[in-house]
Structure 1
Amino acid sequence: MPADIPLPDADHTLAPLAAHDSLLLAVSGGPDSMALMLLAARWSLRETKRIAVATVDHGLRPEAAEEARRVGEWARALGFEHHILRWEGEKPRSRIQERARDARYRLLADCARTVGASAIVAAHHADDQAETILFRLTRGSGVAGLAGMAPASRLDGLALLRPLLGLRKQALEALCEAAGQPFFRDPSNENPAYARVRLRSLSALLAEQGLSVDALLRLSARAARAEEALVEAAAEAAAALPAMRDASTFRVAAAPMAALPRELLRRVVAAEVMRIGGAEPRLERQERACERLHEALAAGASFKTTLGGVTIALATHALTIRPEPPRRRGSPAVKKPCGADPMTKR
């Protein structure tokens, strides 16, 4: 490890956590999360906070249980209470990393509520952010996706904080080494069966072509600024619409919707779909539906589709969004005369 890497400062790094009196640190035992725990131990506000540590044992590796136990020893040595959270039950055969992540966040949220923490603190860092941007870039993500992980977001009613996003992995490993703090390395991070690992193996080649970690982080920052502006513009556009809104209906004249830029049209429609239907449709479905809606608005034509459990209908110079009608149940079976064609329409 290069000796000239500056070590992170606890008070500066953890300043975004100051608003919370009780925190749950997600610590896997890797160098990133161990560095997070070391910084929390050195934080000048530590004595004014309730800080607990949780380690998730996904049950996917034989050594995971012992690693979780060791993390507990390290946490208690630093004066933190420690909880081991186990992902019980049969494990899925496909999309294992995605489903393990969902299980991990669910377990952490349950633990946070149990210990009375208002925020979960994750150890994602700048290299994780660059990897996330590259992963989403290869999948054609929108502006929001290219903004990457947010420093602060919400998870099941709790704050999810990522104070290390401005730090490189090398600096976090250097902090552990300087403190003599052991850590584990997860072998799945080297398994080429996972798309992220395959992308990581290309990092040197991509950097030679200009797509370095720094370049990806610049892209993330620019996308985040653009997303912030678009969110605000869409909210202002929605508020300015002469629309009728109630719990199950959105109705507005076609003309002001036709005047919206296509991206704002998509965002306004998607917001109403989620307000009425509750589910957020995939971006690709939003784009397809709203592109067709835009064309119908421009042509003064009728249009109807379903999206996220609601019906979007354009007719008589007005756009209406409301829940899909219940599906019709089949009519009761009717006894046919002998010899009737079984394909005859009833």
Structure 2
Amino acid sequence: MSQKNLNVQNKTHKFLLDKLKDKRTLRIYKKFEKNLKVRKSAIVAVSGGPDSLALSFLTKIYSLKKSLDVKYFLVDHRLRINSTIEAKSVQKLLKNFYINLNILTWKGSKPEKNIQSISRDKRYKLLIKKANKFRIKNILLGHHLDDLFENFFIRILRGSGLNGLVSLDRETQRDTVNLIRPLLEINKNDLVYLSKYVFGSYVNDPSNENDKFKRVKVRNFINQLGLEGLDKNKLFLTIRNLKLANENIKHYVEENLEKNITILSTKDKLILKKNFFSHSDEVVFRSFTEILKIIGKKYYPVRGKKIDKILQSIKAKSSFKLTLGGCVIKKVNDTIIVSKET
């Protein structure tokens, strides 16, 4: 890098660091820094909206303070006519702040149903592919406090159990890559403020206003509850308490998986010990769900109703053979064998 470009970069970094002189910005950054414990390289998932732009700024400051290598990627889904133009405009905007944004394009046919969930899955696959290429283990996502609330109510509508209700965790793992959400305790209004204050603008995705999507309907419902007196601070405490209860159940699930299964030499087959079923229904249900994910080599769990039917069959029948989630579940007398479906 030439001396001239180096001077410009240093001035830009000073400009960004000087933004912390603003009290509200500093408060947001301190909360962000407290919730992010990354000490190695990371990828930041950018969309161009206020959440991800705020994440880009906060991560840039974090990387300057911690001397980390951070890479920024935006997935152009090409679901809208202007998506590529918008992606390039975000790239140009961030370049002014010495944030090098790379654009990944989703090529091929696009879905007509379940658009948001399929697009999210594709986005993760593209980002994880890049993470593996650069041997990076951490991807930072822009999910925030309002997303936590929306996810909670969406799962209620689906009839989810405790694990589903609190499923938006600060850190999860997918294909050996850590998906980290350092904004989960920061509300949307703060992120909008930060984006306007630092960058001056952000991309508005019209799908965020389209109430044909369940998430938008839930968002509008929560806003209406706010007008009726919903205390979001108390809702956050409720979700946090549920998470604590959920972690306690996870402990017993891990213990059950450690003590009460025998993995055979092929590692594609295991036998459940009799004590596997001696725990509470919830622990048995989750333990069995994890087994199907492990043996079936699936990221997403099998639907709960199907798990319930299998567990009922185990209790009621002396022998059977069923397939579910890429697995063969077989009962012979009192022995339960789970193997990979071939």
Contact 2:45 2:142 in 1 (8 A): yes
Change in Cα spacing, 1:309 to 1:160, as seen in structure 2 (3 Å) is closer
CA 1:121–1:241 in structure 2 vs 1: closer, same or farther (change >3 Å)?
A: closer
Larger radius of gyration: 1
Matches within 5 A, 1:44-193: 45-46=64-65, 48-179=67-198, 181-193=200-212
Residue equivalent to 1:249: 269
Q: In structure 1, what is the Cα distance between the partners aligned to 2:163 and 2:303?
A: 13
Q: Structure 1 residues 283, 40: CA separation in 2 closer, same or farther (over 3 Å shift)?
A: same
**Kept after mapping to 1: 8 A contact 2:166/2:242:** yes
Match of 2:337 in 1: 320
Alpha-carbon distance in 1 for matches of 2:195, 2:294: 46
Q: Is the 8 A contact 1:176 1:182 kept in 2?
A: yes
* RMSD, aligned CA: 2.7
- Work out the CA distance in 2 between the residues paired with 1:317 and 1:18: 47
- Contact kept in structure 2, 1:277 and 1:310, CA below 8 Å: yes
User: Do the aligned partners of 1:143 and 1:227 also contact (CA within 8 Å) in 2?
Assistant: yes
Aligned partner of 1:172: which letter? L
Cα gap change, 1:304 to 1:118, in 2 (>3 Å): closer
The equivalent residue for 1:331 is none
SS state of the match for residue 29, structure 1?
coil
Gap runs ≥5 in structure 2: 1-21
Secondary structure, counterpart of 2:125 in structure 1: helix
Tell me which moved more, 305-314 or 57-66: 305-314
2:259 aligned partner: 240
Answering whether residue 32 of structure 2 is matched by residue 13 of structure 1, we say yes
Instruction: Give the Cα separation in 2 of the matches to 1:36 and 1:24.
Output: 11
Alpha-carbon distance in 2 for matches of 1:248, 1:61:
43
SS of equivalent to 1:56: strand
Q: For residues 101 and 252 of structure 1, what CA distance do their matches in structure 2 show?
A: 35
Q: In the alignment, which of 268, 293, 308 is matched to residue 314 of structure 2?
A: 293
Task: Give the C-alpha shift of residue 11 in structure 1.
Answer: 4.6
Task: Give SS of 1:218's match.
Answer: helix
Give a deviation string over 1:164-222, Cα, whole Å, max 9, x none: 00000011112223335211211110011111112222223334667654454334323
| Count of aligned pairs | 317
Instruction: State the Cα distance separating 1:30 from its structure 2 match.
Output: 0.9
Q: 1:94 to 1:208 in 2, by over 3 A?
A: same
1:262 touches 1:291 (CA, 8 Å); kept in 2?
Answer: no
Q: Which has the higher helix share?
A: 2
Correspondence for 1:307 among 324, 330, 340: 324
Take 1:242 and 1:112, find their aligned partners in 2: how far apart are those partners? 33
Q: CA deviation at 1:54?
A: 1.4
Which residue identity lines up with residue 326 of structure 2 in the other structure?
Answer: G
* Residue in structure 1 matched with residue 216 of structure 2 by the alignment: 197
Which whole-Å CA distance do the structure 2 matches of 1:24 and 1:194 have between them? Answer: 28
* TM-score under structure 1 length normalisation: 0.81
Q: How many angstroms apart in 1 are the aligned matches of 2:174 and 2:337?
A: 32
